[in-house]
Amino acid sequence: MIDVEDLIALVRNYNPKTDADLIRKAYAYGKDMHEGQFRHSGEPYFSHPVAVAAILTEQRLDDATIVTALLHDTIEDTRSTYGEVSEMFGEQIAELVDGVTKLTNLQLSNAASKQAENFRKLFMAMSKDLRVILVKLADRLHNMRTIRSMRAEKQAQKARETMEIYAPLAGRMGMQWMREELEDLAFKVLNPEARTSIIRRFVSLQKETGDVIPKITADIRALLEDEDIDADVFGRAKRPYSIWRKMEEKQLTFSRLSDIYGFRVITRTEMDCYRVLGLIHHRWCAVPTRFKDYISQPKTNGYRSIHTTVSGRDGKRVEVQIRTRQMHEVAEAGVAAHWSYRDGERAQNPFAVDPAKWLASLSERFSDPDGDGDHDEFLENVKLEMYSDQVFCFTPKGDVVKLPKGATPIDFAYAIHTRIGNSCVGAKVDGIRVPLWTRLKNGQSVEVITASGQRPQLTWLDIVATGRAKAAIRKSLREEDRDRFIKLGQELARVAFEHVGRRVTDKALRTAGKALGIGDQDEVLARLGSAELAASDVLDALYPELAQRREGTEIEPTRAVLGLGADQSFRRADCCQPLPGERIVGITYRGKGVVIHAIDCPALEEFEDQPERWVDLHWKTGQHPPAYTATLKVTISNDAGVLGHICTLIGQQKANISDLDFVERKPDFYSVLVEVELCDAEHMHRLLTALEAESDVAQVERIRNLSRKP
């Protein structure tokens, strides 16, 4: 673990004016709060916050961010409180620590409506101070670097989350180096065989051709020296995941893959960038369609660079990136460049873009002025905005419109104005009429053709790529169908209310809408007509006693089976524990009545030559009470609180635990037999699904003890 003085020295390398006492105080406080806590590897837990702080020093971040890194787990995992952190370190640091805690607790990979709403609120909160993202990304990077000490299924879960959420987020924030390392670390967990194979092929290639990086680097340096251009040249092999992704996207074998080497030329001035480009294209053959000028058309995160691919030494394709020193700082640090320090002062980089403006515009763009926004749509829109590459198209007047890769003329129309998108009937691309589903490319000029009376079509939802267009189309379709749905909803409400002897009124519908958090009576009727809301939900909101009455009409367990004689009683076989909803058969016993088995129970084999004892039975249809026992074998992680959490989850599924027996204990896992009382087979299915979704549950299965006798 890095000593506090060594950490302060790392900060002083770029910020001699650092508040060393503040860092010492935070270091001591964090160490004290985490005392007695250990990581899965056995190391003291505080080594993790210190490592996160060290990662952030590489980005030359301010004291507040470094202190936040040291304290980022205190509020969540220790006895520390927001008030205590605020009192000791100030309100700003307390808010940053609290922001990281909220981000940690948010299940970003879960697109449920509640999580979508949290994601929406979090994005709006992060627009105030994006340093919480920097701390969280550094936190995830260190966790991925040390992931081998975690359980296998936990590794896979964290790696998938990293690949789907944190790596694209890092890329979107301009920290490409972090994105590449996160992707490769996740790739190492998710597909180790593929990664190992690529590394072996790469080693074999180096043996065959030698290390070409220093050779090509020397060629470029000599070229620049001849023209008296002052620049630095660096070369590297691309990471295994980057190579594998290109192989997958282009369906190529490793031997056919080109440009697995990348080179950077860092110049002093912007004019030198274009001079270097000319020299490289004059010296080697440029590969068509592999040229991008992000200096004249910067990315939204401030990234500027020229990219070109050429056939270099021995015909090998290599990618060359050309940019100035200031552009390089932004390309390496991304959002961190906005807070980075040099010689004790905030570095003023003209190319650094404040990503808070991007987040603020995103939150504003998808905020619903009517207050009835669809949070799942917002989550979809956020992901579309975050994880898409950009294309740049032009209006007929020459204005630039930025769109995600795969965008169509309809997306272009909505990017200009919602009114233009709604009335779009056609488009011309570079002067030629094209279908509306055409995918736009960089540099194309797009002219939108509109007509009065035109309305968005349902099929457009499958064509467009931007969240803005999808949201506008859905809103228009809802408005267009609203009158029809309201009329249909009125009829459905009338029938439902009359069925229970009540009369539907505007006041009743307004009251139901308020109770359900929907809105006025028209919105209730529209949702009834569009099947988004059931009439029974409206009735239950107004008349809870009706719901209680329905719940009281349960089938008595002693009368739950059809097909028995008037004097016959029954009981369920212990060997298969059949549940209502499953196919069953009865076996008669003298003095024992009828024992019912599941139709596929192996115990029935011994009665095959006694057909006179078989009775054809069926469960009654309807609502059964939770009175039928079934046995589950649940394998869970051996961590504090896990068993209690699983028992609580079972209770939340309205299943009662009647017995519990530990059958296998290991240092990391243990298995337990849980006997639960269920209503029917569907209840069993819901419970199994809920348990399987838990990250702490390694395996869950229904057990039918064939050793038991009927």
* Domains annotated on the chain, with CATH: 4-190 (1.10.3210.10), 193-346 (3.30.460.10), 475-552 (no CATH), 555-710 (3.30.70.260)
The C-alpha atoms of residue 95 and residue 129 are separated, in whole angstroms, by: 9
pLDDT > 70? residue 505: yes
The secondary structure element, H or E, covering residue 292 is: strand 285-293
Residue of 187, 180, 194 whose CA lies nearest to 156: 187
Other beta carbons within 10 angstroms of residue 444's beta carbon come to: 16
Average pLDDT, the chain: 81
When pLDDT is cut at 50, 70 and 90, the band that residue 250 belongs to is low
**DSSP letters of 478-495?**
HHHHHHHHHHHHHHHHHH
Given a contact cutoff of 8 angstroms between Cβ atoms, the answer to whether 691 and 554 are in contact is no
The secondary structure of residue 76, as a DSSP letter, is: H
Give the closest residue to 67 by CA, choosing from 14, 32, 99, 30. 30
Do residues 619 and 580 touch, judged by C-beta distance below 8 A? yes
pLDDT at 219 over 60: yes
**pLDDT top residue among 690 and 34:** 34
**How do residues 636-695 score in pLDDT, each as one tens digit?**
888 888 888 888 888 888 888 888 888 887 777 888 888 899 988 888 988 888 888 787
DSSP label at residue 166: I
Query: pLDDT grade, residue 371 (50/70/90)?
Result: very low
Cα distances from 305 to residues 260, 280, 294, 297, 507, in angstroms, run 19, 15, 5, 9, 63
Q: Which of 233, 230, 200 is nearest to 216 (CA)?
A: 233
Report the chain's terminal Cα–Cα distance, integer Å: 62
Exactly one of 19, 77, 376, 574 is catalytic; name it.
77
493, 542 Cβ separation under 8 angstroms: no
Residue 399 known to be catalytic: no
Which among 164, 264, 255, 182 has a CA at the least distance from the CA of 217?
264
Q: What is the pLDDT of residue 175?
A: 82
Pick the range with the lowest mean pLDDT from 4-18, 170-184, 410-424.
170-184
Confidence band of 110 (pLDDT split at 50, 70, 90): very low
How confident is residue 485, by pLDDT bands cut at 50, 70 and 90?
Answer: confident
Q: Of 144-148, 536-540, 544-548, 638-642, where does mean pLDDT reach its minimum?
A: 544-548
Got the DSSP string for 692-708? HT-TTEEEEEEE--TTS
- Cβ neighbours for 193, distance < 8 A, ≥ 6 positions apart: none
How far apart are alpha carbons 478 and 419 in whole angstroms?
A: 16
**φ and ψ at residue 208, rounded to 5 degrees:** -75, -40
User: Where is average pLDDT lowest: 70-79, 102-111, 654-663?
Assistant: 102-111
Q: Can you tell me whether residue 14 is helix, strand or coil?
A: coil
What pTM did the predictor assign?
0.54
Confidence of residue 276 (pLDDT cuts 50, 70, 90): very high
Does residue 520 have an active-site annotation? no
Residue 164 backbone dihedrals phi, psi, to 5 degrees? -90, -30
User: In sequence order, what are the residues at sequence separation of 6 or more whose Cβ sits closer than 8 angstroms to the Cβ of residue 152?
Assistant: none
Contacts made by residues 343-347, CB under 8 angstroms, sequence distance 24+: 343/14, 343/15, 343/16, 344/15, 344/16, 344/17, 344/18, 345/17, 346/62, 347/60
Burial (CB count <10 Å: 0-12, 13-18, 19+), residue 234: middle
266 forms beta bridges with: 232, 323
Mean pLDDT of 495-520: 82
Under a CB-based contact definition with an 8 Å cutoff, are residues 308 and 281 in contact?
yes
pLDDT digits (tens, 9 = 90+) for 119-165: 555 565 555 677 888 898 999 999 999 998 888 888 888 888 888 77
- From 76, 117, 161, 582, the catalytic residue: 76
Give the tokens for residue 127.
């627009």
Lowest-pLDDT choice from 309-318, 351-360, 394-403, 640-649: 351-360
Name the pairing type of β-strands 261-267 and 317-324.
parallel
pLDDT at residue number 127 = 58
Name the most confidently modeled range: 116-125, 204-213, 267-276.
Answer: 267-276
Over residues 599-611, the mean pLDDT reads 85
Query: pLDDT class for 372, splitting at 50, 70, 90?
Result: very low
Burial label for 409, CB within 10 Å (0-12, 13-18, 19+), is buried
In the predicted model, what is the mean pLDDT of residues 387-394?
68
**CA-based torsion, 64, 67, 69, 75: positive or negative:** negative
